[in-house]
Amino acid sequence: MLKQIMLCGLGLFLAGAEPVQAHQVTFKTVQNYPAVIVRAGYEGAEPLSWAAVSVFPPDQEHSAWQNGRADKAGQFAFVPNAPGFWTVHVDDEMGHKAKTVIEIAESFFDNRERSIGSGEKDSAGSLGTQPLIFRLLFGLMIIFGVTGIAYGLMARQSLKKG
């Protein structure tokens, strides 16, 4: 009976769990003359805070145009000097590496009155996080699940002794 209750509780616990999605890196770019702003993050979750960033100009994959780190929000910017396909490498130094190619059109340099955000482009999904209520509920589910398992094991041991 206790085994069935434990399995039922474990099933309910796992049914409420979200799938892990922190293994794919997403990019969002905003081209707003004179700069290109890139936001890097884990898919559907948090930003790549303080990640190492290298920007490579068109046709120069071995000579970095700019090296640096993303800010706390996973954002960094660079000022391209020529049109073409610019490559951005991001490394969170914990096993997540990714690169994206950003096309800088000739019109980027011609249209200096571009409004903020008009050049926004998603390359792989949203960077938003889950609402606070879902994160709190998930945390409570973990606490109650672990507590239930611990009390179940203690009750099982006391039944064996008694």
Give yes or no: residues 81 and 11 share one domain.
no
Instruction: Pick the more confident residue, 71 or 110.
Output: 71
Tell me, yes or no, whether 50 lies in a domain.
Answer: yes
| Residues 20-62 pLDDT 10s | 444 688 889 999 888 999 999 887 668 889 999 999 999 888 8
DSSP conformation class of 47: B
What pLDDT does 16 receive? 60
Tell me, yes or no, whether 127 lies in a domain.
Answer: no
| Residues 81-135 pLDDT 10s | 999 999 999 998 888 889 999 999 988 888 655 444 444 555 543 334 567 777 7
Q: 123 by DSSP, 3-state: which?
A: coil
Residue 91 one-letter amino acid = D
Give yes or no: residues 138 and 106 share one domain.
no
What pLDDT does 125 receive? 39
d(CA 131, CA 151): 31
| Residues 9-18 pLDDT 10s | 666 666 665 5
Per-residue buried b or exposed e for 9-40, using 16+ beta carbons within 10 Å of the residue's own CB: eeeebeeeeeeeeeeebbbbbbbbbeebbbbb
What pLDDT does 9 receive? 64
Q: pTM value?
A: 0.56
d(CA 73, CA 155): 47
Q: The CATH number of the domain where 29 resides is what? A: 2.60.40.10
Tell me, yes or no, whether 149 lies in a domain.
Answer: yes
What pLDDT does 61 receive? 81
Q: How many structural domains compose the chain?
A: 2
Tell me, yes or no, whether 106 lies in a domain.
Answer: yes
